[in-house]
Structure 1
Amino acid sequence: MTAYSLLDLVPIVEGGSARQSFANAADLAKHAEAEGFARYWVAEHHGMPGIASAATAVVIAHVGAATRTIRVGAGGIMLPNHAPLVIAEQFGTLDALFPGRIDLGLGRAPGSDQKVARALRRTLDSSADAFPQDIIELQSYFADDGQTGIAAVPGGGARPELWVLGSSLYGAQLAAALGLPYAFASHFAPGSLDEALDVYRRHFRPSAVLAEPYAMAGFNVFAADTDEDAELLATSMQQTFVALRTTGTGIRMPPPVKGYLDTIPPQARAMLDQVLSCTAIGGPEKVRDGLAGFIARTRVDEVMLVSSIFDHDARKRSLSIAAAAMRGL
Structure 2
Amino acid sequence: MIPYSLLDLAPVCEGSDISGAFANMRDLARHAEDWGYQRYWLAEHHNMPGIASAATAVLIGNVAGATSRIRVGAGGVMLPNHSPLQVAEQFGTLASLYPGRIDLGLGRAPGTDQPTARALRRYFDNAEQFPQDVNELLHYFEPAQPGQAVRAVPGAGIDVPVWLLGSSLFSAQLAAALGLPFAFASHFAPDAMDQALMIYHRNFEPSARLANPHAVLALNVVAAETDEEARYLFTTQQQAFVNLRRGKPGLVPPPIDDIEAFWQPHEKLGVAQALACSVIGSADTVRDGIRAFIDRHRPDEIMLTANIFDHGKRLRSFELAAQAMNALPT
TM class by smaller structure: over 0.9
Counterpart position of 2:98: 98
Aligned-pair RMSD on alpha carbons?
Answer: 1.2
Gaps of 5+ in 1: none
Counterpart position of 1:318: 317
State the alpha-carbon separation in 1 of the partners of residues 148 and 28 from structure 2.
Answer: 39
The answer to whether residue 284 in structure 2 is matched with residue 285 in structure 1 is: yes
For the residue of structure 1 that corresponds to 2:128, the secondary structure is helix
Q: 1:148 to 1:172 in 2, by over 3 A?
A: farther
Any conservation in 1 of the 2:222–2:234 contact (CA below 8 Å)? yes
Counterpart position of 1:29: 29
State the alpha-carbon separation in 2 of the partners of residues 141 and 178 from structure 1.
Answer: 15
Q: 1:148 to 1:286 in 2, by over 3 A?
A: farther
Counterpart position of 2:244: 244
Post-superposition shift, 1:195? 0.5
User: What TM-score, normalized by structure 1, do the two folds share?
Assistant: 0.97
Deviations 1:223-273 (A, max 9, x none): 1010011011101111000000122x4211011101213442211111111
User: What TM-score, normalized by structure 2, do the two folds share?
Assistant: 0.97
Any conservation in 2 of the 1:109–1:128 contact (CA below 8 Å)? no
The answer to whether residue 194 in structure 2 is matched with residue 186 in structure 1 is: no
Post-superposition shift, 1:158? 1.5
State the alpha-carbon separation in 2 of the partners of residues 264 and 135 from structure 1.
Answer: 40
Which AA in structure 2 matches 1:31? H
Which AA in structure 2 matches 1:309? I
1:151-300 matches, within 5 Å, as 151-247=151-247, 249-300=248-299
Counterpart position of 2:9: 9
Which AA in structure 1 matches 2:56? T
For the residue of structure 2 that corresponds to 1:220, the secondary structure is strand
Counterpart position of 1:47: 47
Any conservation in 2 of the 1:4–1:303 contact (CA below 8 Å)? yes
Gaps of 5+ in 2: none
1:109-188 matches, within 5 Å, as 109-125=109-125, 127-146=126-145, 149-188=149-188
Any conservation in 1 of the 2:81–2:123 contact (CA below 8 Å)? no
Any conservation in 1 of the 2:30–2:67 contact (CA below 8 Å)? yes
Larger mean Cα displacement after TM superposition, 190-199 or 255-264:
255-264
Q: 1:124 to 1:256 in 2, by over 3 A?
A: same
For the residue of structure 1 that corresponds to 2:246, the secondary structure is helix
Deviations 1:140-196 (A, max 9, x none): 111134496311111111111110000001010000000000000000000000010
Figure out how many residues of one structure are paired with residues of the other and give that number: 327
For the residue of structure 2 that corresponds to 1:186, the secondary structure is coil
Counterpart position of 1:87: 87
For the residue of structure 1 that corresponds to 2:112, the secondary structure is coil
Which AA in structure 2 matches 1:150? V
Any conservation in 2 of the 1:140–1:148 contact (CA below 8 Å)? no
Larger mean Cα displacement after TM superposition, 50-59 or 154-163:
154-163
1:57-76 matches, within 5 Å, as 57-76=57-76
Which AA in structure 1 matches 2:301? E
State the alpha-carbon separation in 2 of the partners of residues 325 and 288 from structure 1.
Answer: 5
State the alpha-carbon separation in 1 of the partners of residues 236 and 323 from structure 2.
Answer: 24
State the alpha-carbon separation in 2 of the partners of residues 114 and 262 from structure 1.
Answer: 32
State the alpha-carbon separation in 2 of the partners of residues 2 and 259 from structure 1.
Answer: 36
Aligned-pair identity in percent equals: 57
Any conservation in 2 of the 1:141–1:148 contact (CA below 8 Å)? no
State the alpha-carbon separation in 2 of the partners of residues 89 and 297 from structure 1.
Answer: 39
Any conservation in 1 of the 2:253–2:309 contact (CA below 8 Å)? yes
